[in-house]
Homo-oligomer: A and B are copies of this chain.
């Protein structure tokens, strides 16, 4: 079984300090959270950024500032900007996060449209998927294909892969608990639905986080934890940092005998070039 890549989704676009005071907004806070995760064993930082008041932004400048600051403290981490942005942003806004220097090694690419509660929808039309895939391919960015349901895997294959816009092997992120429920059964179904040779990460939203992490580690997948997906270390106990959550994932991995990948090992598993 491959070593375990732990991704830390340290910030997200929607969680707030009201929910957990350790959610980072400022550059300093973002760096603090990234470093805590990196020190605990995360090889990859999945990054959203905010303005100092917490408003989510895809601003190129803000991403540049945060990435540069993280880089100093986490010298070899894989830093993966989100292109998901927040509900309501245009495609062009969302792609700004990939315009930083140097070009990111990876970025997320959402593979379909789904409900986000109430009257909100998270829109990723087929055209958006195609455009994002094309641009990432041109820039040499490896997409992390974010899927919230089984048919989003099929959508990515139908609208982008069939046109040659996705390089193989692909890397997927199964986000469970938004549209598809976060059960081990669903997790297995997703893992069985991606093309042979793919790597995949999984995350369970909210209280399902640790069950999904444990099952994923047992299955040979990779794990994402962090404030974006879950604010609690255990029932009723708010996490003090993303690092605490990464440490918990490391502890589960240790119990299951699965070694944790360094950033260099993670790059090898993901087919990324070594960091210069």
Q: Which residues of A contact B (CB under 8 A)?
A: 112-115, 117-121, 123-128, 148-152, 154-155, 178-181, 183-189, 191-192, 196, 207, 210-212, 214-215, 217-219, 234-235, 248, 251-252, 255-257
Contacts and interface: CB of A to CB of B under 8 A. Distances in A.
Nearest to A196: B196
Contact of A119 (B112, B115, B125, B178): B125
A119 B149 CA distance: 19
A156 to B, nearest CB: 11
21 contacts: A112-B115, A113-B114, A113-B115, A118-B125, A120-B125, A149-B149, A149-B152, A150-B186, A152-B179, A154-B179, A154-B181, A183-B219, A184-B188, A185-B188, A185-B192, A210-B257, A211-B256, A212-B218, A214-B215, A214-B255, A248-B255
A229 to B, nearest CB: 16
Contacts of A128: 119
A149 B186 CA distance: 12
Looking at A125, A178, A196, which has the most chain B CB atoms within 10 Å of its CB?
Answer: A125
Looking at A118, A185, A248, A251, which has the most chain B CB atoms within 10 Å of its CB?
Answer: A185
A256 B211 CA distance: 6
Contacts of A127: 118-119
